[in-house]
């Protein structure tokens, strides 16, 4: 088909943000390669996700087999390998998520093809040239990828997604193509057998509109209470640098950075964070960064849009107090 | 329980990265070397499992002769032995790296000393390819799970937990032999003791010459991303800046006016 196939993740029908980024890059590659953009979706709710996938996708392949409802990376990859054989795309893309990287690596391993992870841009030609992230984005690599089917995952938050892409009211919704893959028992050995829901009422760091992050300067578990208070007032979530999670001041799942989460909130408030590159790669996709730091020369100032020079232990409570004062009304 | 842990020697970057003049490598003249935090956790986990259940552990790396340093670091905290797939300095792509590791694992198996569990870091700190562990598992026909943040062994199986895409946790159970890639947060790695360092210094390292091949992607060069270039606007100093901060929060639509 000389087109592009995108593995699209969704949560019970709701499109994953990183998959939308993969679709956006996929659309431009399909146009350059002169073929259609197709998608493959697995799991319960795939039909609803396919309906919301946007007009750029011509066909959405829905993998329909109950045995694949629970995530099983090898079996999901096997289904994609089957589609590759029948559709002959020039590239298969996935989002730069745990699952995107994992499923595509299985596809690569099973078909003995190279795979480029965390790609930020691609130039289509006889030999495809691409730019990909190293060091979680602190460094870029220009490379060539020579393969009949190029397997690429898209670096998180590196490709802009037009809001209209998500429009459910697409003028021409994609053709829905249910597809029953061959399922081999050994591929189902590694599969999700249990799920623990997140604590009720918690806002996840990757979804939060505002993230308040703490670093070494916070100094203790107790001092995070002031960050929690500010995050609460802003409807946001609290995260931390690697120093903070290694010291046990926050659980590791709150780590923002190379070995933790990549976030992309509207506003990131960096409190007492000096700004090592390993942290910056985790927060630089924020639309705006406000740094609160005693040191005006700290590296975080190089990426911040706004800054308050001062001790976070005084500045953060003062901001919370000012928000409360204004909320209480004049007088 | 026989465990193999695979690690990769990488420069310890902290501040700015500087490249060599030809743009092919990071300038490491003033840098120390380490392994990624994910891999430190993999090493610690192997030591803990053997402490609790018996058996033995081995650490493996593919890299230049000086990567011996990272193997000794792992032995200093309790890994029993080390294998160096010694390269001539050329970069091995993920396919070649996985193939070299598979050769070692198969040779062990043929010699009657198979590994029950092979641990990797989720991705290398430098190249971030996210695939070597999976390629090794697929070639060996073993089940694999990545992104693991908690790992328990029971009755010939490994139970792995990782963060679920929509929040919360998901669980996998793989029969051994298996391959598991882990993430930082799995445990808190210990520091090596002085006696541990001395013991590690005296240990033999098995050296194997891996076969180089190139499947891709083929690196043309490295470059630093463009600076975002935004000039920081200082809103004020100390708690007196609070009013200006709240004005900003209203202006950018975070707070209702």
Pairing relation of β-strands A194-196 and A150-154?
unpaired
CB contact under 8 A, A198 and B167: yes
The per-residue pLDDT for A163 is 65
DSSP 8-state symbol, A45: T
Q: Please calculate the CA angle A277-A279-A283 and round it to the nearest 5 degrees.
A: 110
**Cis-peptide, bond into residue B177, ω within 30° of zero:** yes
pLDDT in tens, A278-314: 999 999 999 999 999 999 999 999 999 999 999 999 9
pTM comes to 0.93
**Segment B31-41 mean pLDDT:** 96
C-alpha separations of A255 from A109, A235, A247, A262, B66 in Å: 30, 19, 11, 9, 31
CB contact under 8 A, A140 and B225: yes
Share of chain B above pLDDT 70, in %: 98
pLDDT in tens, A28-78: 999 999 999 999 999 999 999 999 998 899 999 999 999 999 999 999 999
Residue whose entry in the numeric block shows the structure tokens 């891996």: B210
Cα within 13 Å of Cα(B59), Cβ side: 36
Cβ neighbours of B234 in A, within 8 Å: 296, 306-309
Q: Which residues pair with B84 in a beta bridge?
A: B61, B207
Shortest alpha-carbon distance between residue A291 and chain B (Å): 9
The per-residue pLDDT for B229 is 63
Q: Look at residue A2 and tell me whether its pLDDT is greater than 90.
A: no
Shortest alpha-carbon distance between residue B202 and chain A (Å): 31
Please provide residue A73's backbone torsions phi and psi, each rounded to the nearest 5 degrees: -55, -45
The per-residue pLDDT for B16 is 77
Of B184, B155, B181, nearest to B36 (Cα)? Answer: B184
Which pLDDT band holds residue A167 (cuts at 50, 70, 90)? very low
The per-residue pLDDT for A109 is 98
Give every CB contact of residue B194 below 8 A, 6+ residues apart in sequence: none
Q: Look at residue B54 and tell me whether its pLDDT is greater than 80.
A: yes
Of A104, A98, A102, nearest to A83 (Cα)? Answer: A104
Mean pLDDT of chain A: 93
CB contact under 8 A, B232 and A305: yes
Q: Please calculate the CA angle B34-B88-B112 and round it to the nearest 5 degrees.
A: 80
The token duo for A82 is: 């089957």
CB contact under 8 A, B131 and A267: no
Q: Look at residue A166 and tell me whether its pLDDT is greater than 50.
A: no
Q: Give CA–CA dist B235/B241, Å, rounded.
A: 6
The per-residue pLDDT for B150 is 96
pLDDT in tens, A226-269: 999 999 999 999 999 999 999 999 999 999 999 999 999 999 99
Shortest alpha-carbon distance between residue B234 and chain A (Å): 5
Q: Look at residue A331 and tell me whether its pLDDT is greater than 90.
A: no
Which pLDDT band holds residue A165 (cuts at 50, 70, 90)? very low
CB contact under 8 A, A326 and B26: no
Helix residue ranges per DSSP H, A34-141: 46-51, 73-87, 98-111
Q: Look at residue B246 and tell me whether its pLDDT is greater than 80.
A: yes
The token duo for A81 is: 């390998």
Cβ neighbours of A155 in B, within 8 Å: none
Of A328, A316, A229, A325, nearest to A270 (Cα)? Answer: A316
pLDDT in tens, A186-219: 999 999 999 998 887 778 898 899 999 999 999 9
CB contact under 8 A, B139 and A109: yes
pLDDT in tens, B153-212: 998 999 999 999 988 999 999 999 999 999 999 999 999 999 999 999 999 999 999 999
């Amino acid at each position: 088909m000389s087109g592009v196939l995108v593995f699209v993740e969704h949560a019970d029908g709701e499109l994953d943000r990183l998959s939308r980024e993969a679709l956006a890059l996929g659309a431009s590659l399909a146009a350059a390669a002169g073929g259609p953009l197709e998608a493959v979706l697995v799991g319960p709710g795939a039909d609803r996700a396919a309906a919301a996938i946007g007009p750029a996708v011509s066909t959405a392949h829905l993998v329909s087999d109950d045995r694949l409802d629970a995530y099983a990376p090898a079996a999901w990859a096997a289904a994609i390998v089957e589609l590759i054989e029948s559709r002959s795309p020039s590239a298969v893309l996935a989002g730069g998520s745990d699952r995107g990287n994992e499923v595509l690596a299985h596809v690569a391993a099973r078909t003995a093809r190279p795979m480029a992870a965390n790609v930020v841009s691609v130039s289509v030609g006889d030999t495809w040239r691409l730019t990909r992230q190293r060091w979680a984005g602190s460094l870029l690599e220009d490379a060539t990828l020579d393969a009949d089917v190029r397997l690429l995952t898209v670096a998180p938050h590196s490709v802009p997604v037009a809001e209209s892409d998500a429009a459910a009211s697409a003028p021409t919704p994609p053709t829905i193509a249910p597809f029953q893959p061959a399922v081999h028992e050994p591929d189902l050995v590694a599969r999700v057998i249990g799920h623990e829901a997140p604590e009720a009422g918690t806002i996840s760091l990757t979804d939060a509109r505002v993230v308040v992050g703490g670093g070494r300067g916070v100094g203790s578990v107790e001092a995070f209470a002031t960050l929690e208070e500010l995050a609460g007032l802003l409807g946001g979530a609290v995260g931390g640098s690697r120093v903070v999670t290694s010291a046990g001041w926050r659980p590791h799942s709150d780590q923002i950075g190379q070995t933790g989460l990549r976030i992309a909130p509207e506003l990131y408030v960096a409190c007492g964070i000096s700004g090592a590159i390993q942290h910056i790669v985790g927060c630089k996709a924020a639309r705006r960064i406000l740094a609160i730091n005693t040191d005006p020369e700290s590296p975080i100032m190089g990426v911040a849009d706004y800054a308050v020079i001062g001790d976070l232990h005084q500045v953060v409570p003062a901001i919370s107090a000012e928000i409360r004062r204004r909320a209480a009304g004049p007088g | 329980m026989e465990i193999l842990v695979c690690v990769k020697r990488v420069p310890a970057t902290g501040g700015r990265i500087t490249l060599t003049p030809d743009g092919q490598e990071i300038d490491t003249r003033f840098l120390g070397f380490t392994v990624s935090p994910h891999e430190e956790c993999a090493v610690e986990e192997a030591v803990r499992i053997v402490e609790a259940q018996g058996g033995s552990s081995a650490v493996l790396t593919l890299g230049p002769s000086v990567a011996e340093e990272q193997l000794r670091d792992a032995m200093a905290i309790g890994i029993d032995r080390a294998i160096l797939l010694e390269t001539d300095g050329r970069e091995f792509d993920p396919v070649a790296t996985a193939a070299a590791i598979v050769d070692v694992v198969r040779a062990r198996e043929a010699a009657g000393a198979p590994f029950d569990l092979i641990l990797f870091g989720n991705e290398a700190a430098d190249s971030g390819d996210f695939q070597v562990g999976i390629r090794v598992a697929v070639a060996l026909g073993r089940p694999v799970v990545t992104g693991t943040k908690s790992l328990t062994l029971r009755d010939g199986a490994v139970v792995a937990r990782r963060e679920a895409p929509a929040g919360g946790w998901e669980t996998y159970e793989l029969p051994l032999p298996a391959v598991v890639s882990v993430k930082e947060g799995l445990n808190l790695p210990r520091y090596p003791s002085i006696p541990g360092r001395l013991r590690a210094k005296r240990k033999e390292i098995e050296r194997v010459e891996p076969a180089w091949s190139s499947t891709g992607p083929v690196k043309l060069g490295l470059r630093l991303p463009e600076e975002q270039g935004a000039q920081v606007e200082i809103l004020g100093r100390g708690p007196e800046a609070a009013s200006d901060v709240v004005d900003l929060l209203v202006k950018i639509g975070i707070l209702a006016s």
